[in-house]
Amino acid sequence: MQEPQALLFPASSRLVAEASRQRPSFDRTVRQLLLLSLMAIGAVNAEPLRLLGPADLEQAVRLREQALQSDLAFELVESLVTEVGPRSAGSAGDASAVAWAVAKLKALGFPEVRAEAVPLRAWQRGDAHAHLTAPFPQPVVMTALGNSVATPKEGINAEIAYYSDLAALKADSSDRASGKIVYIDQKTERSRTGSGYGKAVAARTEGPSEAAKRGALAFALRSIGTDHDRLAHTGATSYQEGIRAIPAVAVSNPDADLIARLSLQPRYQGRPVKMHLSLASEGGIAATSHNVIAEIPGSSAPEEVVMIGAHLDSWDLGQGAIDDGAGVAIVTAAAKLVLDSGLKPRRTLRVVLFANEENGFDGTKSYAAKYRNQRHHFVGESDFGAGLVWRFQSRVRAEALPVVAQIAAQLAPLGIAAGDNQANPGPDAGYLMRLHGWPALELSQDGSDYFDWHHTANDTLDKIDPLKLRQNVAAWAVMVWLAGQSPVAFGSMDLK
Ligand SMILES: [Zn+2]
């Protein structure tokens, strides 16, 4: 695979040169993909082979080259984080993000722009403090997990019950945690795909109730993050029904190292680690947010929808630049390129900026209910930061795989490899795919450094490389255009 970075700096001539140097192996890959997909079809039925025509393929090349010259996506995310900033669901920032998005999409010239109300229960963070009281007094940098209940005003001062991971807590049938602050020390592994986050995140969502079942007074965990900054990573937790809700926090990785030394090193054995924890918060606040939608109506099949999304809300600690201002900017800029191309897409192209992905998926759920009977040709989402796209994946019926291979061929010059037909298209789109069995396409971003900043005060604009955004927009424009023009339906099939 060629180095994608090299493609970001050149004008289109260098891009073409790079691409043609790659041609032999690149064509081989595409031929193999086509062959495999034809074999897959042969195994299913004898539907005739239909492919994208030369006009659509040439248009994809133009979109790709235009995207590589445009900083629209960076300008959009810069505007969002500068003029709005943090925007947790139901907050004043959220309301101004919705107003920002509606105004921006209208100004970009999308023919149909609307905001659809999403009722939700908001959660509001208050002041939070923690420090070790024994065996050595030490400050602890931490933050409340989203949805956490407050401590009593005077706080909680208790011994820490240390567990290496969630499995260790779940396996504990003793009363060791009773009357203590349960602490989970699980580290997050760095990976391109985010698999380390996937492994660690259950401790955040399930940990507090598992601790409460064992009589704990509060819950703390090592931040789910790959950094060594003295900043804590927030994120939603949830409480099981019928289980007492206890305060839940994440401590920064360096503070987690301190707690680990005190808990594990032989020289400190027999000296209980105690922490004082106080936090304020308020949950269950009735509020309304909005899914913001922009559409380019389809020319020949307007009733079929190509849905590309991102989420408009962010956590409150940072600016929401990589999560998910970048995604908002990427899908919007890609749709804008299609709009400006002057060509009419066959199907309706719909950009959806979802409400409250972070703390309850209210926007997705509302969209899923409202549009459940509308035919979705495919769904996709950009919500994994601003790293380069390195892989393209699908989840479509076998008959559509030759078209998927044609799209892969147009993405290859951007340094994007073809993946499998088991796409996971992001949190909101993935929810819709699983709920309704809608087909999905995925452009996998390199998330190696995403969890250094995710859900922290460090989620700021400086983490975004404008040139990498260009490559993302190019990939999305190519994919959205070609997939939307497909002569073959991508569904339906049982994709649940
Ligand atoms: Zn996100």
**The domain containing residue 475 runs over which residues?**
4-111+297-485
Q: Given 283, 311, 330, which residue is the final one in a domain?
A: 283
The Å distance, Cα 70 to ligand 1 centre, comes to: 24
**Residue 202, pLDDT above cutoff 90:** yes
Alpha carbon of 79 to ligand 1 centroid (Å): 18
Same domain as 87, residue 173: no
- Please give the span between the terminal C-alpha atoms of the chain, in angstroms, as a whole number: 32
Report CA(40)–ligand 1 centroid distance (Å). Answer: 34
Cβ partners under 8 Å of residue 447, min gap 6: 191, 192, 193, 194, 384, 385, 387
Q: Are residues 241 and 99 in the same domain?
A: no
Report the separation in Å between the CA atom of 353 and the middle of ligand 1, taken as the mean of its atom positions: 11
Give, as one character, the DSSP assignment of residue 186.
P
Say how many Å lie between the CA of residue 403 and the centre of ligand 1.
Answer: 29
Q: Are residues 351 and 452 in the same domain?
A: yes
Residue 490 lies in a domain: no
Burial class (CB in 10 A: 0-12, 13-18, 19+), 150: middle
Element (H, E) at 116: strand 112-134
Compute the distance between CA of residue 453 and CA of residue 25 in angstroms, rounded to an integer: 37
333-366, pLDDT tens digit by residue? 999 999 999 989 999 999 999 999 999 999 999 9
Instruction: Name the maximum alpha-carbon separation found in the chain.
Output: 75
Query: Do 149 and 96 belong to one domain?
Result: no
- The structural domain count of the chain equals 2
Predicted confidence (pLDDT) at residue 210 exceeds the cutoff of 90: yes
**Eight-state DSSP code of residue 324:** I
Bridge partners, residue 120, by sequence: 287
User: Has residue 495 been placed in a domain?
Assistant: no
Kindly report the number of other CB atoms within 10 A of residue 146's CB atom: 24
Residue 399 C-alpha to ligand 1 middle, in angstroms? 32
> Is residue 496 in some structural domain?
no
Quick one: tokens of 38?
A: 């034809």
Domain at 451, CATH number: 3.40.630.10
Within this chain, do residues 275 and 336 fall inside the same structural domain, yes or no?
no
Residue 288 domain flag: no
In a domain, 66, yes or no: yes
- Summary mean pLDDT of the chain: 92
CA gap 188, 440 in Å, rounded = 28
Note whether 361 and 338 are same-domain residues.
yes
Per-residue pLDDT tens for 241-299?
A: 999 999 999 999 999 999 999 999 999 999 999 999 999 999 999 999 999 999 999 99
117 in a structural domain: no
- Of the three residues 252, 283, 314, the one that is the final residue of a domain is 283
| Residues near ligand 1 ion, CB 5 Å cutoff | 323-324, 383
Reported as a pLDDT band with limits 50, 70 and 90, residue 16 is very low
Interatomic CA distance for residues 271 and 359, integer angstroms: 38
* Same domain membership, residue 41 and residue 134: no
The verdict on residue 349 lying in a domain is yes
Separation between Cα atoms, residue 79 and residue 71, nearest integer Å: 12
Q: Write the pLDDT tens digit of every residue in 85-97.
A: 999 999 999 999 9
Same domain as 473, residue 349? yes
Distance of CA 452 from the midpoint of ligand 1 (Å): 14
pTM score: 0.91
Closest of 54, 56, 34, 30 to residue 398, by C-alpha: 34
My answer on whether 348 and 444 are in the same domain is yes
Of 222, 255, 283, which marks where a domain is finished? 283
Q: For 155-167, what is the mean pLDDT?
A: 98
Cα of 354 from ligand 1 centre, angstroms: 10
Clarify whether residues 77 and 146 are in a common domain: no
Query: Where on the phi/psi map is residue 155: left (φ > 0), alpha (ψ -120 to 50), or beta?
Result: left
Confirm whether 493 is domain-assigned: no
Give me the CATH number covering residue 272: 3.50.30.30
174 and 38 both lie in a single domain: no
73 and 141 in a common domain: no
**Residues 162-194: pLDDT tens digits?**
999 999 999 999 999 999 999 999 999 999 999
